[in-house]
Amino acid sequence: MIRVGFLLKVKEEYVGEYKAHHKKVWLEMQTALSRNGWKNYSLFIRPDGLLFGYFEAKKSLTDSLKGMESEKVNADWQQLMSPYFEIVEGSAPDQSMLELEEIFHLD
Tens of pLDDT, residue by residue over 60-78, are 999 999 999 999 999 999 9
Question: What residue segments make up the domains of the chain, in order of their start?
Answer: 2-100
Contact 90, 39 (CB under 8 A): no
Q: How far apart are CA 19 and CA 21, in angstroms?
A: 5
Q: Does domain 2-100 have CATH number 3.40.50.2020?
A: no
Query: What is the mean pLDDT of the segment spanning 90-105?
Result: 93
One-letter amino acid at 54 equals Y
Taking Cα atoms as reference points, which of 5, 98, 75, 11 lies closest to residue 47? 11
Tens-digit pLDDT profile for residues 12-69: 999 999 999 999 999 999 999 999 999 999 999 999 999 999 999 999 999 999 999 9
Q: Looking at residue 91, what is its pLDDT?
A: 86
Q: What is the pTM of this model?
A: 0.92
